[in-house]
């Protein structure tokens, strides 16, 4: 997997924005990670700790990563049933036909960050 | 101070993908991103595709590989232009790598560009390269269960080439079950059984390409 590279992108995007805002020290980062996005929360946490510990000029020592999991949800276009897709993502549990459309679960976003300017 | 971003983590990739897409559209190049696990037969299929279609179309190939130049050389020996991207251990191609490789081509002189992604059923599916179509290759020795085990790949591809069907008599791969599983993950997706070894079924893949090409240039 490539969570180190993903964390590199996350840190870069935050750094760009923080520089523009005059923020020099990051204390907290919040992500939204969909259940069926390709990112793995545990690997992201590990990668975050490595980046933080290697970039203490930019992160405070106890900077934390908060991950909000976005549930995967799908809805059948025929009967309207909402369900939690497992492997057979499109299969409606009521109709038993592949009439489901994914509503959520693919998001992978930086929700916010917190920091200060000293 | 708290700053709300709501920025997609893959923002930079998506920007590069848009850049590629505009280039492909303005030069009317059909671009197909081929993905599979290692050894499913992407390069062999591309060799056969170049062999069969290079009279009709000007074909080029971008080869993603962890370290070697081998696959690009195989394609070159079939007479098509090929550029190798070495990801140096990276498990997928991203749109910036493709954008950088595009400098090696004159897209006005190319009708169809195939991108062979790094052999991996997980990571490549998440990266938009700016392609017109994402196509997965699954091979008979990998077994039926790959479709349900890696739904993220198969929900994002519109065509599955089931390769190595010459091996069906020796293995317990069930084609009907694979089709059923695929339809329950991605009902729009099509499965074409074929063999890059015996050439059985390849004509169906070639007509799919032809249809995609015609739609691409008519836009
Ligand atoms: N029996 C059989 N063997 C095949 C077929 N297609 C490819 N092979 C063999 O499968 C092996 C791997 O094929 P490649 O084309 O190199 O596979 P690939 O997907 O490009 O592999 P990577 O680039 O390493 O991910 C080779 O030994 C091929 O000769 C087929 O239809 N039938
Ligand atoms: Mg190959
Ligand atoms: Zn239903």
The pTM assigned to this predicted structure is 0.95
When scoring A11, A22, A89 by the number of chain B Cβ atoms within 10 A, the one with the most, hence best to mutate, is: A89
Here the CATH number for the domain that contains residue B45 is: 3.40.50.300
Question: A38–B125: do the CB atoms touch at under 8 Å?
Answer: yes
- Residues making up chain B, counted from first to last: 219
Summarised one tens digit per residue, pLDDT across range B86-105 is 888 789 999 999 999 999 99
Q: Which of B122, B171, B170, B167 is nearest to B146 (CA)?
A: B122
Ordered by start, the domain boundaries in chain A are 3-71+104-116
- pLDDT tens profile B18-46: 999 999 999 999 999 999 999 999 999 99
Give the per-residue pLDDT at B65.
Answer: 86
The CATH classification of domain A3-71+104-116, taken from the options 2.60.120.650, 3.30.2320.50, 3.40.250.10, 3.20.20.150 = 3.30.2320.50
Range of the domain at B39: 2-218
Q: Which of B90, B152, B185 sits opposite A38 (nearest CB)?
A: B152
The pLDDT-based confidence of A1 (bands split at 50, 70, 90) is: low
Q: What is the pLDDT of residues A107-118, one digit of tens each?
A: 999 999 999 997
Ligand 1 pocket residues where CB is under 6 Å: B 36, 38-44, 71, 119, 163-164, 166-167, 195-197
Q: CB of B128 within 8 A of CB of A40? A: no
Number of domains in chain B: 1
- Considering only CB atoms, which chain A residues are within 8 Å of B126? 37-38
Whole-angstrom Cα distance, residue A34 to residue B10?
13
């Amino acid at each position: 997997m490539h969570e180190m590279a993903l964390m590199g992108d996350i840190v870069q995007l935050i750094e760009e924005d923080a520089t523009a805002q005059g923020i020099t020290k990051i204390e907290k980062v919040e992500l939204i990670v969909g259940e069926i996005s390709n990112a793995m929360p545990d690997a992201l946490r590990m990668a975050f700790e490595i980046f933080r510990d290697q970039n203490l000029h930019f992160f405070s020592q106890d900077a934390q990563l908060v991950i909000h999991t976005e549930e995967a949800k799908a809805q059948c276009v025929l009967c309207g049933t909402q369900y939690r897709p497992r492997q057979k993502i499109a299969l409606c549990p009521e109709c038993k036909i592949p009439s489901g459309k994914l509503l959520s679960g693919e998001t992978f976003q930086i929700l916010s960050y917190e920091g200060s300017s000293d | 101070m708290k700053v709300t971003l709501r920025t997609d983590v893959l923002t930079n990739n998506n920007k590069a993908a848009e850049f590629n897409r505009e280039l492909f559209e303005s030069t009317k190049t059909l671009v197909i991103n081929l993905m599979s696990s290692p050894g499913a037969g992407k390069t062999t299929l591309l060799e056969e595709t170049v062999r069969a279609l290079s009279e009709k179309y000007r074909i080029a190939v971008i080869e993603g590989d962890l370290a070697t130049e081998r696959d690009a050389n195989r394609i070159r020996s079939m007479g098509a232009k090929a550029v190798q991207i070495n990801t140096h251990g990276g498990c997928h191609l991203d749109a910036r790598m493709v954008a950088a490789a595009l400098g090696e081509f004159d897209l006005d002189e190319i009708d169809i560009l195939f991108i062979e992604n790094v052999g991996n059923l997980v990571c490549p599916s998440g990266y938009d390269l700016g392609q017109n179509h994402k196509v997965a290759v699954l091979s008979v020795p990998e077994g039926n269960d790959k479709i349900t085990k890696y739904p993220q790949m198969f929900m994002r591809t519109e065509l599955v080439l089931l390769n190595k069907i010459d091996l069906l008599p020796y293995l317990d791969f069930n084609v009907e079950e694979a089709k059923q599983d695929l339809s329950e993950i991605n009902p729009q997706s099509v499965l074409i059984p074929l063999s890059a070894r015996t050439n059985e079924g390849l004509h169906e893949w070639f007509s799919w390409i032809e249809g995609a090409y015609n739609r691409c240039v008519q836009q």
